């Protein structure tokens, strides 16, 4: 696990799993007194001195292997009171004086928190600090203060509307509207390894020895790779430089400019179900605010509702707490039907616990590395599993058979201060939604100056200056030299007197005309390569000049649209021994790398020579794939392990011939991972593989026809044939294509291709129109074996139950298109549209008679 101990940086801690460690861990599987663990170990190792046994147990506690009840779980707001209660309950004679001192500190804090005169409060804090630092020297400043303003505030509706518009624009401008590259990569690797609808235990998944590990960029994972400069970033760099050349200090966003900066589908960013927008208001007076004369600045979205306000809920009056609790219990979720779940954990640095202490407010709780009672709301780690569909990942509870929407109700930094597992669980439910951040300048942040960015009455990004340490004299220079150089730099860069030194989301106001403030700037440069200075926005008089930050909870107008998730069952669970390794039964997976245009030729003209080496040709099927090189994934049935050597020898010799003929660049044997989550376990998977084999043979026949109809026309015909065979009748198949093939796509159809599809993708009279076309008779005849295999598979699915048949049929069409044309989403959508048009035309003609 990752843990920061003392003053050392957080790192993964590993230890030998000796017999002694195993006994201690097993004994503490549920809460047990320390002396009981020590006694058990002494009975197991009577020759080991007592101090060594006690030292081992203490070391296991220090390293986080054993969890002490002295550390309060995150849901306990008063950690000191918890510590006193636990210490009193232990009644250790050696700790009597310490417990008494802790009790004194607790009672003094309780006294301080009563309504006191300012002088009395200051006197108590001084005494408390002396007492606390005498007990422990870990923190120079041992306590912090939470303040609640003794006022209420009501803002005019136009402020809310302006905030909504700013949040919408930030969502549209997201550099990652469908998740970060790291999570996209993780989804792709999960899809490749386990397939859709399979469920993988979280413990196995994030263990790099048996699963995928954590996404790249996580602590203890592979670092993120730098991305190439995107067209969007080039546009931002251009805008920034143009503003400087034109002498402008502001970029005003309009609809045309927003469109040029939008990534992906401009009209449908996949926004999270909810967020918070933090901002401040600049207005001359309350009257100006009411009349709409205001500006929002300091704008920043959060991970979700509760991220910013969560840790402050304990400061609110009871009525306000109750209202917020109701709001949180009714949060919209990122997946329909998912249960909002609070992730509770101990941060890497225990000094951060003042940020993470939040009452449990959501219907379910995932607790990590905490000593706490387990109740009906608690979901243990071993009950969690991850699944995926074509577009996203999701988290489920196995015992509850439901999806979870995990989140944290605090703003602890996920990258540097959160254990990787807690970060993983917090991010997964929105990993494929738009990443909401402050205005995403991306690589342009390296520029020495960036102008202000405004949208309406919202300052999305303040003007900012980057000051590198090398631009000013080093620490050996006198103050006079340094001040002179700083003044010259300010004059050249047109830096105002009042700025803020920005570090992450923390701002330190500075007046650069004050020598004391310049001293702070120089001290920061002594320890940093560069500093960021932003323009300072005065609050003016609307709130009597008080510093403030408004938190506006927001929910998405349209919830994220995802494919339906099948019911959670134990049959979907994939264990760590899932997959057929090379050399084991029952499939040999061969990856054949070469030019994508040679693949049909290999299947139609050269594969028969390989299969002909057996007296009884083995079952086989294939997929086209890219990783990122295009290749064929050819699977050949291996009935027993004894057959592997001969099969591998024949395949290698055949592939070597392809390489000599210039049709192949490389060949690899690989592990075959059956997608039991998508197709079903056991006999269902076997019957699905019969369908894949029949579909592969049908396509090999299709590729062998020297003259044949257009590829997209044949795909539409195959879709109609598969839908009819799977649903049990032509009418049912056509109805399914009409209901599920309605795709909104601005691209026009090729009229010639559409006319051919309407004519040839018609099963009337045994596909008479297709059979009359060149090559059509052989192609249509090859579908009969697939029809029979689909019927057997569907019959078994009906008997098995619990699998969404619509999802299965959709997957069958998707898999056929990959075999026929490769991975091409746009082409697949066009083929679905053609099949939908053919189904509509067939239905419109009417007077159909099913074959006897």
CATH code for position 644 = 3.30.70.600
Name residues whose C-beta falls within 8 Å of residue 438's C-beta, 6 or more positions apart in sequence. 170, 299, 300, 301, 460, 461
- 544 found inside a domain: no
- 442 found inside a domain: no
The continuous run of DSSP H or E covering 766 comes out as helix 764-772
Mean pLDDT of 514-533: 95
d(CA 459, CA 462): 6
Last residue of a domain, one of 536, 565, 596: 536
Q: pLDDT digit string (tens) for 768-790?
A: 999 999 999 999 999 999 999 99
Tokens of 498: 């009042």
Last residue of a domain, one of 536, 555, 570: 536
Three-class secondary structure assignment of 237-285: HHHHHHHHHCCCCEEECCHHHHHHHCCCCCCCCCCCCEEEEEEEEECCC
Q: pLDDT digit string (tens) for 637-683?
A: 998 888 999 999 999 999 999 999 999 999 999 999 999 999 999 99
Tokens 């460690």 sit on residue: 21
- 553 found inside a domain: no
DSSP one-letter string for 698-716: HHHHHHH-SS-S-HHHHHH
Q: Are strands 506-511 and 250-252 parallel, antiparallel or unpaired?
A: unpaired
Residues 347 and 495 in one domain: no
Three-state DSSP state, 591: strand
Closest CA to 394 of 214, 565, 213: 565
Residues 247 and 372 in one domain: yes
What residues are paired with 250 via a beta bridge? 452
Residues 202 and 348 in one domain: yes
pLDDT at residue 268, as a whole number: 63
Q: pLDDT digit string (tens) for 298-319?
A: 999 999 999 999 888 888 888 8
Which pLDDT band holds residue 686 (cuts at 50, 70, 90)?
Answer: very high
Residues 845 and 763 in one domain: yes
Residues 304 and 356 in one domain: yes
pLDDT at residue 159, as a whole number: 97
- 377 found inside a domain: yes
Closest CA to 299 of 532, 450, 455, 530: 455
* Average per-residue pLDDT for the chain: 92
pLDDT at residue 560, as a whole number: 73
Domain count, the chain: 6
- 711 found inside a domain: yes
pLDDT at residue 266, as a whole number: 56
Angle between the 683-704 and 783-800 helix axes, to the nearest 10 degrees? 160
Three-class secondary structure assignment of 322-375: HHHHHHHHCCCCCCCCCEEEEEEECCCCHHHHHHHCCCCCCCEEEEECCCCCCC
Three-class secondary structure assignment of 114-163: CCCCHHHHHHHHHHHHHHHHHHCCCCCCCCCCCCCCCCCCCCCHHHHHHH
The residue that leads in pLDDT, 729 or 139, is 729
Residues 101 and 167 in one domain: no
Q: Is the pLDDT of residue 137 over 80?
A: no
Question: What's the Cα-to-Cα distance from 315 to each of 65, 77, 321, 734, rounded to whole Å?
Answer: 34, 11, 9, 61
Last residue of a domain, one of 673, 704, 720: 673
- 766 found inside a domain: yes
The continuous run of DSSP H or E covering 205 comes out as helix 202-206
Residues 266 and 165 in one domain: yes
What is the residue range of 105's domain? 79-135
pLDDT at residue 848, as a whole number: 67
Residues 399 and 475 in one domain: no
Which pLDDT band holds residue 486 (cuts at 50, 70, 90)?
Answer: very high
Residues 254 and 392 in one domain: yes
Residues 850 and 733 in one domain: yes
Which pLDDT band holds residue 354 (cuts at 50, 70, 90)?
Answer: confident
Q: Is the pLDDT of residue 453 over 60?
A: yes
Predicted TM-score (pTM) of this structure: 0.90
Tokens 């020895």 sit on residue: 209
Closest CA to 288 of 637, 634, 542, 576: 542
Residues 56 and 93 in one domain: no
Length of the chain: 852
Q: Is the pLDDT of residue 267 over 80?
A: no
Q: pLDDT digit string (tens) for 49-65?
A: 999 999 999 999 988 89
CB 829 within 8 A of CB 745: yes
Tokens of 425: 């669980």
DSSP 528: S
pLDDT at residue 225, as a whole number: 78
d(CA 435, CA 433): 6
- 597 found inside a domain: yes
Residues 690 and 669 in one domain: no
CA 572 to chain centre: 21
pLDDT at residue 547, as a whole number: 83
- 572 found inside a domain: no
- Percent of the chain residues topping a pLDDT of 70: 97
């Amino acid at each position: 696990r990752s843990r920061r101990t003392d003053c050392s940086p957080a790192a993964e801690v590993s230890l030998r799993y000796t017999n002694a460690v195993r006994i201690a861990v097993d004994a503490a599987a549920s809460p047990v007194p320390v002396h009981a663990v020590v006694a058990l170990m002494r009975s197991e190792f009577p020759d080991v001195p007592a101090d060594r046994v006690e030292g081992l147990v203490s070391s296991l506690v220090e390293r986080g292997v054993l969890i002490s009840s002295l550390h309060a779980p995150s849901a306990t707001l008063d950690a000191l009171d918890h510590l006193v209660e636990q210490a009193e309950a232990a009644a250790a004679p050696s700790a009597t004086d310490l417990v008494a001192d802790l009790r004194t500190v607790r009672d003094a804090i309780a006294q301080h928190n009563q309504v006191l005169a300012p002088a009395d409060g200051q006197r108590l804090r001084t005494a408390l600090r002396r007492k606390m630092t005498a007990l422990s020297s870990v923190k120079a400043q041992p306590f912090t203060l939470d303040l609640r303003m003794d006022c209420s505030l009501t803002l005019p509706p136009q402020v809310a509307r302006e905030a909504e518009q700013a949040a919408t624009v930030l969502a549209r401008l997201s550099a990652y509207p469908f998740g970060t590259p790291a999570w996209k990569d993780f989804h792709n690797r999960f899809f490749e390894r386990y397939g859709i609808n399979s469920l993988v235990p979280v413990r196995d998944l994030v263990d790099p020895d048996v699963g995928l590990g954590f996404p790249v960029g996580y602590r203890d994972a592979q670092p993120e790779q730098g991305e190439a400069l995107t067209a969007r970033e080039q546009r931002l760099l251009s805008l920034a430089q143009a503003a400087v050349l034109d002498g402008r200090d502001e970029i005003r966003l309009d609809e045309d400019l927003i469109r040029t900066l939008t990534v992906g589908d401009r009209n449908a960013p996949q926004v999270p179900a909810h967020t918070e927008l933090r901002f401040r208001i600049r207005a001359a007076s309350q009257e100006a605010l009411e009349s709409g004369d205001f500006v929002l600045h300091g704008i920043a979205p959060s991970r979700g509702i509760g991220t910013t306000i969560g840790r402050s809920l304990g400061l609110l009056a009871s009525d306000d707490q109750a209202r917020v609790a109701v709001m949180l219990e009714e949060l919209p979720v990122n997946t329909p039907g998912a249960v909002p779940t609070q992730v509770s954990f101990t941060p890497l640095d225990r000094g951060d616990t003042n940020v993470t202490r939040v009452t449990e407010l959501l219907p379910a709780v995932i607790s990590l590395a905490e000593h706490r009672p387990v109740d009906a709301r608690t979901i243990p780690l071993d009950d969690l599993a991850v699944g995926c569909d074509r577009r996203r990942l999701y988290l489920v509870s196995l015992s509850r058979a439901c999806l979870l929407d995990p989140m944290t109700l605090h703003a602890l930094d996920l990258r540097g201060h959160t254990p990787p597992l807690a970060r993983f669980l917090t991010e997964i439910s929105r990993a494929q939604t738009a990443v909401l951040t402050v205005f995403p300048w991306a690589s342009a942040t390296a520029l020495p100056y960036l102008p202000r960015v405004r949208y309406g009455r919202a300052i999305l990004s303040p003007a900012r200056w980057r000051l590198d340490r090398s631009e000013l004299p080093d620490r050996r220079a006198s103050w006079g030299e340094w001040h002179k150089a700083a003044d010259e730099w300010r004059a050249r860069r047109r830096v105002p007197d009042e700025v803020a030194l920005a570090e992450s989301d923390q701002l330190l106001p500075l007046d650069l005309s004050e020598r004391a403030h310049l001293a702070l700037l120089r001290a920061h440069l002594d320890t940093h390569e560069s500093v960021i200075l932003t323009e300072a926005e005065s609050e003016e008089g609307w709130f009597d000049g008080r510093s403030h930050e408004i938190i506006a909870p927001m929910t998405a107008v349209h919830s994220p649209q995802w494919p339906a998730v099948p019911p959670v069952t134990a049959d979907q669970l994939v264990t760590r021994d899932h997959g057929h390794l090379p050399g084991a039964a029952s499939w040999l997976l061969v990856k054949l790398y070469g030019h994508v245009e040679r693949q049909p030729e290999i299947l139609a003209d050269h594969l028969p020579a390989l299969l002909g080496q057996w007296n009884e040709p083995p079952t086989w099927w294939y997929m086209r794939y890219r990783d990122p090189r295009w290749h064929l994934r050819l699977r050949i049935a291996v009935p027993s392990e004894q057959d592997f050597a001969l099969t591998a020898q024949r395949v290698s010799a055949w592939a070597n011939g392809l390489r000599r003929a210039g049709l192949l660049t490389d060949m690899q044997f690989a592990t075959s991972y059956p997608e039991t989550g998508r197709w079903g376990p056991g006999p269902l998977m076997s019957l699905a593989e019969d369908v894949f084999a029949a579909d592969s043979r049908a396509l090999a026949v299709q590729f062998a026809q020297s003259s044949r109809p257009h590829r997209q026309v044949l795909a539409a015909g195959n879709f109609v044939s598969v839908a009819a065979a799977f649903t049990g009748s032509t009418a049912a198949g056509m109805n399914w294509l009409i209901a599920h093939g309605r795709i909104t796509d601005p691209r026009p159809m090729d009229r010639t291709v559409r006319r051919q599809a309407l004519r040839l993708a018609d099963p009337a009279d045994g596909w008479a129109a297709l059979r009359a076309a060149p090559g059509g008779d052989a192609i249509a005849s090859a579908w009969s074996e697939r029809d029979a295999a689909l019927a057997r598979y569907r019959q078994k699915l009906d008997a098995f139950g619990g699998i969404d048949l619509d999802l299965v049929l959709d997957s069958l069409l998707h898999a056929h298109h990959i075999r026929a044309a490769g991975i091409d989403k746009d082409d697949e959508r066009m083929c679905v549209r053609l099949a939908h048009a053919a189904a509509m035309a067939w239905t419109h003609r009417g007077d159909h008679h099913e074959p006897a």
